[in-house]
Amino acid sequence: MRRLLGTAAAVAAFALAAAAGAAEPTAPAKDAVATFASGCFWCTEHDFEEVPGVTRVISGYTGGTVANPTYQQVGMGGTGHAEAVEVHYDPSKVTYRQLLDTFWHDTDPLDAKGQFCDKGDEYRSEIFYHDDEQKRLAETSKAAIEQSHRFGNQPIVTRIAPAGPFYPAEDYHQGYAKKNPVRYHFYRWNCGRDQRLTELWGADAVGSKVASSEAPKQQ
């Protein structure tokens, strides 16, 4: 009887240990980061937030030489920074290649003076890569567009550069489309962003599809 009780106790102890081990939470997969500039970061942030697998998008400034710049400083020029977004994503749900596809269909790669109604170097189109693989994929994607001759002989002016320090923009810029939907849609429409994207990319224009699905309905 003691032997049976001892055996039962051992089995119970093993079962409890196994249950405790199974209950231990596994560490969540670490997000990867991608950085893009495509004109006004209000719009770029909003459009990347709609991509499944993207966990967070931060508006900010990067590509320049001034530390901790303000919106006013960047807007006045001379900092070298672009309005950009830092995209955090789950690589098991969305790939960097897919993010590049979103980027290209949400930018005007022919405009060397800015993007849409916003002109100035701070509104340039640019991909900031974080490692050699991102660099390779970015350069390959750009070459594919050039070789497709989709835009005839017009040069693709989107830049590709290594990612440097990224400075988050002021709080009132973060999630601007959600905080101020009426102002956001008014700005976006009047800037001609979606009209130009549709002209460039047709039905593949990412921004156009996102905006049309969320445009405020008239009462």
CA angle 166, 172, 61 (to 5 degrees): 20
In the numeric block, the tokens 């119970």 are attached to 12
Q: Which of 40, 43, 117, 191 is catalytic?
A: 40
Q: Say if CB 100 and CB 109 are below 8 A apart.
A: no
CB 68 within 8 A of CB 61: no
Q: Which of 186, 15, 215, 33 is nearest to 117 (CA)?
A: 186
Phi, psi of 57 (to 5 degrees): -130, 130
The question of whether 117 is a catalytic residue gets the answer: no
Please state, in angstroms and rounded to a whole number, the distance separating the CA atoms of residues 127 and 138. Answer: 7
* Residues acting as catalytic residues: 40
